[in-house]
Structure 1
């Protein structure tokens, strides 16, 4: 209990004093996770929409791959991304291994299947009569898709929450492709592991509390937006 209390005290001290290094790590974590989530939305929503609305050969197989990707271990993603971005890898010429960009790529790969699968599931559960009604009104293909996505907007917000939660809390991929470099790629999860390895459990607990507060704050904003829209519908 003493160790936990010391960690809580350290967290309060770091938050109140605005420790520059902790602030830098927190802002970098937020920047990387937000960017990774946005990219995963650009990939996951169109992919989920395609799988839900467009029958084509192999669709069920691809959907099974996407569903499997929801439980894809981050360390596996980190391994393969690092292989492709390594100096001798296919994209080594980009020189982005051990950079925030590499972490964003890995995190986008982690979150995209989650958002795609949840989008697909939500669209498949829409009322068939609604689809017929939209088509009967003469909506174009884009209008048809937009109206359906508007219908499942609450589920989409839930997908965003799930995707953001998955990447802000992961460590395997960030460590593999980012390297936990101070001032460059060190985020809250990798910094916490580093402090644990050094035996600084009070600082590790403090960082974990800050990470939880960050995740809760972002999730709270999305939840309030979701509930606000629901109340206004």
Structure 2
């Protein structure tokens, strides 16, 4: 195992020089997580909006279920996706297991309930303010959803960023369905676990530094979006 001081110095060098393996791992991580976040937003935002404005029998039960799914254990999601994509599973003929696509599917399932539940809360609060105005304008459900999504765009952007932060830091599901294959499905979190177990602290620390920078960047972006929304509210 490397000396901690030497490992940290080498880690800084790997980041500063743009080590090829490091860049490849980070690039795949961002591609998988950004794609999963985009898909989760495409599914979760309209679903959250519909749940915010709709009133029907069983809505309370669906809200409880939606909130409960926010805490889905990643390894359970990974296992379910694995069982469906394995050769003996119903989708095994697609040959997606141990590919980036399988990782995207797992992350999308994992963060869609988060996006839907958070956006539902934001849009329901907004809808309570605009309900009378929507009724006076005779807006249908689709038009109401479109208006809410546009008016809450800054708040919903923070929801999307929260989903991305959850996705990029996930390890349990992606290691099950991706297999942590070098140059194919190795992302930052799975590579950190592997390199640490191998005693290669330099690469693990380098990836950890990049992951921390991304986390800080996401939080800074969330703060910036919130401040922009506040300024827009007073214009």
TM-score, normalized by the shorter chain, greater than 0.5? yes
State the alpha-carbon separation in 2 of the partners of residues 58 and 138 from structure 1: 26
What SS is found at the alignment partner of 2:182?
coil
**In 2, are the aligned partners of 1:4 and 1:205 still within 8 Å (CA)?**
no
Note closer, same or farther for the CA distance 1:229–1:52 as it changes in structure 2 (3 Å cut): closer
**In 2, are the aligned partners of 1:11 and 1:210 still within 8 Å (CA)?**
no
Partner of 2:92: 92
Q: Deviations over 1:26-85 (max 9, x none)?
A: 011011000000000011111111212112232222221110111111111001000000
The count of residues paired between Structure 1 and Structure 2 equals 232
Report which stretch shifted further, 196-205 or 179-188: 196-205
**In 2, are the aligned partners of 1:49 and 1:119 still within 8 Å (CA)?**
yes
Note closer, same or farther for the CA distance 1:154–1:5 as it changes in structure 2 (3 Å cut): farther
State the alpha-carbon separation in 2 of the partners of residues 158 and 217 from structure 1: 12
Partner of 1:64: 64
Partner of 1:112: 112
User: How many angstroms does 1:5 deviate by?
Assistant: 3.9
Q: Deviations over 1:203-232 (max 9, x none)?
A: 212211111112333443454344334323
User: How many angstroms does 1:127 deviate by?
Assistant: 5.6
The 5-angstrom pairing of residues 139-218 of structure 1 reads 139-218=139-218
TM-score by length of 1: 0.91
RMSD value over aligned CA atoms? 1.9
Report which stretch shifted further, 176-185 or 141-150: 141-150
State the alpha-carbon separation in 1 of the partners of residues 58 and 14 from structure 2: 52
Q: Deviations over 1:121-154 (max 9, x none)?
A: 1122226342211331344543322222233333
State the alpha-carbon separation in 2 of the partners of residues 112 and 43 from structure 1: 7
Q: Unpaired segments of 5 or more residues in structure 2?
A: none
State the alpha-carbon separation in 2 of the partners of residues 133 and 186 from structure 1: 51
Q: Unpaired segments of 5 or more residues in structure 1?
A: none
The 5-angstrom pairing of residues 129-144 of structure 1 reads 129-144=129-144
State the alpha-carbon separation in 2 of the partners of residues 125 and 179 from structure 1: 42
Note closer, same or farther for the CA distance 1:7–1:71 as it changes in structure 2 (3 Å cut): farther
Report which stretch shifted further, 120-129 or 194-203: 120-129
State the alpha-carbon separation in 1 of the partners of residues 72 and 28 from structure 2: 24
